[in-house]
Structure 1
């Protein structure tokens, strides 16, 4: 079967366990991810988040509904000011150790995997967004009259990839 991009949707951000969460949903289904899978994934999410370390509490997640019984939740959290912490949960995928094919039965993935080809496109955008808004915000001046030069967690949280396909990953 030839490779095909999947659909990517960016639901509004949420707050979970004191962290601001940007969200990306990936699926081949134009109807989106089933509500039960989404609910189960976000109920499992707090266990994927790191302890606070002084870095602004920001995370982005990729919730991916596979073409088979699998569902995947990748949580990428900013720590140490400029490092991504990654933890992944999986459901319904016996090949990854799941006890059944239930896409709502999430468990922590104990393998050092960070994402598949459909889950990785947000990484470049999120890296650039973190640098742009948190590490090197625009300096005030005649060319940037509204810039404060201060990090902008709100600006970072609101800077997401637009809905599209997983192949559309440029900021």
Structure 2
């Protein structure tokens, strides 16, 4: 979700994978949250941006429905002022509930360029190319640990994260 009107839509020479880090899980509003951070900055996500993103997280989580209360998030710091928090929560046994927040990106409806001023845009976007790699991994991990075994293993699912590296290291 880091597109701006100033950037061209095509041109392979400008594409470069971003860094992916995997902070430890946290608990928010009774849900266990697996976390992925995406940024081009080797220093990672700035603490003030991370704090602001996780402050809005409770607003993005669905009500409990009997499915183990687990969510995975992708916090992405764009190459400009933008910051994006995509939340994917397991509901109805095998369905992903999606919600997002964005900051610092007027193109998606943010009121300013402040990467700590998160809002919840009304766009139907589920993530950009840098934010999508965790979805496939998390789908497979959910099946592997929660749906396929005779006895679901929530702790094994929580421990099974995409390894840190770059967003393209998934072969």
Alignment of 1:102-121 (within 5 A): 102-121=114-133
1:38 matched to 2:50: yes
Within 2, Cα distance between the matches of 1:169 and 1:103?
Answer: 29
Within 2, Cα distance between the matches of 1:157 and 1:126?
Answer: 10
Q: Deviations over 1:2-21 (max 9, x none)?
A: 20000000000000000000
TM-score, length basis structure 2: 0.91
1:86 matched residue in structure 2: 98
* Consecutive aligned runs of 4 or more in structure 1 exceeding 2 Å deviation: none
Q: State the shift of 1:109 in Å.
A: 1.6
Q: Deviations over 1:121-157 (max 9, x none)?
A: 00100000000000012xxxxxxxxxxx310111101
> Which structure has the bigger radius of gyration?
1
CA RMSD between the two structures:
0.8
- Of residues 47, 72, 92, the one that matches 2:59 is 47
Within 2, Cα distance between the matches of 1:127 and 1:81?
Answer: 12
1:153 matched to 2:165: no
The count of residues paired between Structure 1 and Structure 2 equals 159
Tell me the SS of whatever aligns to 2:24: coil
Which structure 2 segments of 5+ residues have no match? 1-12
Alignment of 1:1-150 (within 5 A): 2-137=14-149, 149-150=150-151
Q: State the shift of 1:102 in Å.
A: 0.2
Within 1, Cα distance between the matches of 2:130 and 2:100?
Answer: 15
Tell me the SS of whatever aligns to 2:55: helix
Within 2, Cα distance between the matches of 1:132 and 1:168?
Answer: 21
Within 1, Cα distance between the matches of 2:132 and 2:105?
Answer: 19
Tell me the SS of whatever aligns to 1:59: strand
2:170 matched residue in structure 1: 169
Tell me the SS of whatever aligns to 2:16: coil
